[in-house]
Amino acid sequence: MADLSSQGIGRSVANAAAHAVQGVKGALGVGMTEKRQQLNQIAVQDNANTVLTTSSGVPITTVDDSLKAGERGPTLIEDFQFRDRMAHFDRERIPERVVHARGSAAHGYFQVYESLSDLTRAAPFQDPSKKTPVFVRLSTVQGSKGSADTVRDVRGFATKFYTDEGNWDLVGNNIPVFFIQDAVKFPDLVHALKPEPHNEIPQGQTAHDNFWDFVSLLPESTHMLMWIMSDRTIPRSFRMINGFGVHTFRFVNADGVSRFVKFHWRPVLGVHSFIWDEALKTAGRDPDYLRRDLWMSIEMGDFPEWELGIQVIEESEADKLPFDILDATKYIPEEIVPIRYIGKMTLNRNPDEFFPETEQAVFHPGHLIPGIDVSEDPLLQGRLFSYTDTAFHRVGTNFNELPINRPVCPVHNHQRGGFMRHTIVKGQANYHPNSLGGGCPALASASKGYVHYPAPVIGRKTSNRAGSFSDHFSQARMFYNSMTDTEKGHILGAFSFELSKVSTMGIRQRMVDLLNKVDHDLSVKLADNLGVKAPEKSEVESSTKVLGVAASPALSIIKSNKYDTIRGRMVGIYIMPGYDSTVSELMGALTAAGAVPLTLSAKGGPVPDASGSSTTTPSFTFSASSSTQFDALFIPGGRKSVDALLENVPALVQIAEGFKHLKAIAAVNEGVEVVQRLSLMVKTAEDNSVAVDYGVITAKGVGTGMNGKLGKAAGMAAGAVSG
Ligand code: HDE
């Protein structure tokens, strides 16, 4: 039953999809950035036409048997080839990231739409013809390196810009706010959300007592809790998530003028999420789902893209906002400061090898370049220490010299030594000032080098928190009020699921009481679901003024998405011997629209069509696939094919499950009988017509002609939030 393994499914998806769009990659070509050239020069190796050697270059004649004293005798320690292999193997692992351990990355480039020199002197934002190379790592937070992709969790969105003036890292998340206001609480937060220390359970989820115990005692986390219980934390694809810089940063222009700035990534494909049941099932059937989806889309030449947006706030305007701009639990609604989209990022190349690139990549919010500076946000300030500190521990002192982390611009300084130092610097002078090295490397002038923005700072040393950080509920309420009823239902469902796994009733009660300060109705329904006492209407809920705006439609996935494209979506096509010609018509139309048609059948061999003149080798068998892999399902006609399908329980179960997960389903000609048998709709097509009923499209005797309709329905269903 090897083909039932999740790996088996996954491999077939990748192969089948790559096959479906064969040739596209070649036609589009692969971007050759400065970073690519550098990696090729210093690191990338190709083993083709080479001879196996030890790590010191000695040719090896056998790898099957160690050197022994006689054929049946003990192994000799003088077998240096054995020692070379084994000793290196013994040290292959490095510590995984303490958070964001599981991630996938890709190379690409960023291009600004027009010069932003009035706002910043930062290199990537000057010249619209300049392509700045980037390396982007997308991650989950809670789980270990081997955990499942589709768990409910925040997604990390870390981008390294290899600019002409050094590396700039924008290390963000797919949620614009955070749990805590001060970095000093981060170890507690992470201890609470990770698997519990006594039994290391649960993996890849926060549905446990420790997490909810902690956050229920920490009102500042309330806003973030609303976001993580929304559909944002179960994305359909890494290609369909937002990215946010979270903190307030500074843009500084050549005249030294500073403005506050917030960064936003907007996916060109829109934001789309799974349905919870689908996410859970996918975690089991294909734990690599998001990683594979990212990899595959790039291999196919369907490059993921995001637009970078900025909210710019004059320093003099910041204090007029109804919340503190330094508080990372707050979001600046677009209604107050609109987002200006300034450029686009395209990911067009997968890494050649996971470990040296994705695993050894080090991102750090303190990797800044001239023109970009930090604010005094206490969460950001603490991060500035943590990321290099953890890099020294995880990767080593000279992590900046590793190929993936090296800037593409020259690096010259007096740093020397440390484990695994690569660079060999000529000359005698390793200090500044010097005359023996001609004074070099020389200091940069203020107009070229990094100058910290001279932000005025006054105050007495204190561990007190600013009073302006004290409102924890207004924006949580704004977020909830911005949702559609469907999304509110999903939030209630998510809280109910997570808290029902909490065994301590007091913690459940405390969470219900906390949420009562956000929305009374939500907390009453939650109390009912959890078997705890429904709270009285909270004074906070009824009295706290909504700061800023009451609701922001941009926060709702459903309200802000356009469901108008099938690009990058996977359509499962159910074929048995005798399927009709709608299959080839639809496959052609889907491929032309940028979607990925994938065929399924009972067995793996070629399946003949009704005319007997052509066959299709299915991408999957029914037993080695799942409806959760697809965004839409298609059931063609053909008397024999449909009769066989009506007898095939795994196929029928899949189609019914797809309906449950709100997939767009289309059936044509005799194929309509399948959806009728499953009672998936009330209204089906008459002869020579097309009918649409609750996401199910049926057509009889009209050829296909329904790619447009299927596309629209797939787009809506793939939002996975429409019902
Ligand atoms: Fe991180 N975070 N973080 N974080 N974070 C790490 O760095 C930390 C925070 C984020 O793909 C660690 O190299 C502190 C906010 C991403 O390699 C560590 C605080 C945001 C990644 C660390 C935060 C993030 C990390 C673990 C509280 C969104 C993955 C391994 C002040 C703006 C980067 C590592 C990658 C990783 C510390 C909070 C995003 C320990 C102390 C807020 C995307 O250094």
Q: How far is the CA of 147 from the centre of ligand 1 (A)?
A: 18
Choose the residue to mutate in 153, 386, 400 for probing ligand 1, maximizing ligand atoms within 8 Å of C-beta. 386
For the chain, percent of residues with pLDDT exceeding 70: 91
pLDDT score of 413 more than 50: yes
Q: How far is the CA of 100 from the centre of ligand 1 (A)?
A: 7
Q: 256-275 burial string, b = 16+ CB within 10 Å, else e?
A: eebbbbbbbbbbbbbbbbbb
Residue 574 tokens, joined: 């159910």
User: Known catalytic residue: 173?
Assistant: yes
Compute, in degrees rounded to 10, the torsion defined by CA atoms 518, 524, 526, 528: 170
CB 404 near ligand 1, within 6 Å:
no
Residues 528 and 515: beta-carbon distance below 8 Å: no
Closest atom, ligand 1, to C-alpha of 182: 31
CATH homologous superfamily for the domain 473-559: Catalase, four-helical domain (1.20.1370.20)
What is the pLDDT at residue 547? Answer: 58
pLDDT score of 23 more than 50: no
Identity of the highest mean pLDDT range in 27-41, 556-570, 640-654: 640-654
Which residue type is seen at 263?
F
In tens, the pLDDT along 418-447 reads: 999 999 999 999 999 999 999 999 999 999
Closest atom, ligand 1, to C-alpha of 186: 27
pLDDT score of 2 more than 80: no
Q: In CATH, what number does 103-209+217-401 get?
A: 2.40.180.10
Choose the residue to mutate in 94, 171, 177, 389 for probing ligand 1, maximizing ligand atoms within 8 Å of C-beta. 171
Closest atom, ligand 1, to C-alpha of 189: 27
CB 183 near ligand 1, within 6 Å:
yes
Residues 634 and 572: beta-carbon distance below 8 Å: yes
Answer with the residue of higher pLDDT: 58 or 683.
58
Q: How far is the CA of 386 from the centre of ligand 1 (A)?
A: 8
Compute, in degrees rounded to 10, the torsion defined by CA atoms 656, 657, 661, 664: -40
Q: How far is the CA of 157 from the centre of ligand 1 (A)?
A: 10
User: What's the mean pLDDT in 11-30?
Assistant: 45
What is the pLDDT at residue 687? Answer: 78
Q: Return the residue whose CA atom lies nearest to atom 25 of ligand 1.
A: 100
Q: How confident is the model at residue 703 (pLDDT cuts 50, 70, 90)?
A: low
Q: How far is the CA of 392 from the centre of ligand 1 (A)?
A: 15
Which residue type is seen at 338?
P
What is the pLDDT at residue 22? Answer: 42
pLDDT score of 653 more than 50: yes
Q: How far is the CA of 387 from the centre of ligand 1 (A)?
A: 7
User: Known catalytic residue: 481?
Assistant: no
The partner residues of 264 in beta bridges, in order of sequence, read: 244, 309
Closest atom, ligand 1, to C-alpha of 246: 32
Question: Whole-number mean pLDDT of the chain?
Answer: 91
Choose the residue to mutate in 94, 97, 140 for probing ligand 1, maximizing ligand atoms within 8 Å of C-beta. 97
Distances (CA, A) of 591 to 9, 585, 707: 22, 10, 11
The separation between CA 59 and the C-alpha centre of its own chain, rounded to angstroms, equals: 43
Residue of 15, 19, 49, 100 marked catalytic: 100
Q: How far is the CA of 231 from the centre of ligand 1 (A)?
A: 22
Q: How confident is the model at residue 1 (pLDDT cuts 50, 70, 90)?
A: very low
CB 260 near ligand 1, within 6 Å:
no
Residue of 107, 167, 173, 208 marked catalytic: 173
Q: How far is the CA of 359 from the centre of ligand 1 (A)?
A: 14
pLDDT score of 702 more than 70: no
Residue 689 tokens, joined: 């017509």
Residues 196 and 305: beta-carbon distance below 8 Å: no
What is the pLDDT at residue 550? Answer: 85
pLDDT score of 565 more than 90: no
User: What's the mean pLDDT in 403-410?
Assistant: 97
CB 365 near ligand 1, within 6 Å:
no
Residues 494 and 232: beta-carbon distance below 8 Å: no
| Model ipTM value | 0.98
Answer with the residue of higher pLDDT: 704 or 701.
701
Per CATH, which fold does 562-718 belong to?
Rossmann fold (3.40.50)
Residues 131 and 109: beta-carbon distance below 8 Å: yes
Q: Return the residue whose CA atom lies nearest to atom 14 of ligand 1.
A: 383
CB 579 near ligand 1, within 6 Å:
no
CB 363 near ligand 1, within 6 Å:
yes
CB 172 near ligand 1, within 6 Å:
yes
Q: How confident is the model at residue 697 (pLDDT cuts 50, 70, 90)?
A: confident
The partner residues of 615 in beta bridges, in order of sequence, read: 608
Residue that the structure tokens 């979506």 belong to: 569
pLDDT score of 77 more than 70: yes
CB 99 near ligand 1, within 6 Å:
yes
User: What's the mean pLDDT in 118-134?
Assistant: 98
Residue that the structure tokens 């399927």 belong to: 579
CB 135 near ligand 1, within 6 Å:
no
pLDDT score of 549 more than 90: no
| Strand (E) or helix (H) holding 326 | none
For the chain, percent of residues with pLDDT exceeding 90: 84
In tens, the pLDDT along 501-533 reads: 999 999 999 999 999 999 999 999 999 999 999
Residue 687 tokens, joined: 């002869």
In tens, the pLDDT along 147-169 reads: 999 999 999 999 999 999 999 99
CB 392 near ligand 1, within 6 Å:
no
pLDDT score of 685 more than 90: no
Residues 531 and 455: beta-carbon distance below 8 Å: no
List all residues 6 or more positions away from 130 whose beta carbon is below 8 Å from its beta carbon: 111, 112, 123, 124
CB 246 near ligand 1, within 6 Å:
yes
User: What's the mean pLDDT in 131-141?
Assistant: 98
Pairing of strands 570-574, 372-374: unpaired
Closest atom, ligand 1, to C-alpha of 139: 11
CB 137 near ligand 1, within 6 Å:
yes
CB 395 near ligand 1, within 6 Å:
no
**Is 365 strand, coil or helix?**
coil
Distances (CA, A) of 515 to 218, 246, 480, 495, 617: 12, 23, 11, 10, 53
Q: Return the residue whose CA atom lies nearest to atom 28 of ligand 1.
A: 172
User: What's the mean pLDDT in 201-226?
Assistant: 98
pLDDT score of 14 more than 80: no
User: What's the mean pLDDT in 76-80?
Assistant: 97
Distance between start and end Cα atoms, the chain: 36
Choose the residue to mutate in 94, 98, 99 for probing ligand 1, maximizing ligand atoms within 8 Å of C-beta. 99
pLDDT score of 270 more than 60: yes
What CA–CA distance (Å, rounded) separates 121 from 481? Answer: 39
CB 178 near ligand 1, within 6 Å:
yes
What CA–CA distance (Å, rounded) separates 127 from 307? Answer: 16
Q: Which of 22-26, 612-616, 635-639 has the lowest mean pLDDT?
A: 22-26
Q: Return the residue whose CA atom lies nearest to atom 27 of ligand 1.
A: 183
Answer with the residue of higher pLDDT: 693 or 484.
484
Q: Is 92 left (phi over 0), alpha (psi -120 to 50) or beta?
A: alpha
What CA–CA distance (Å, rounded) separates 674 from 688? Answer: 18
**Is 693 strand, coil or helix?**
strand
Closest atom, ligand 1, to C-alpha of 382: 31
Which sequence spans correspond to the domains of the chain? 66-92, 103-209+217-401, 473-559, 562-718
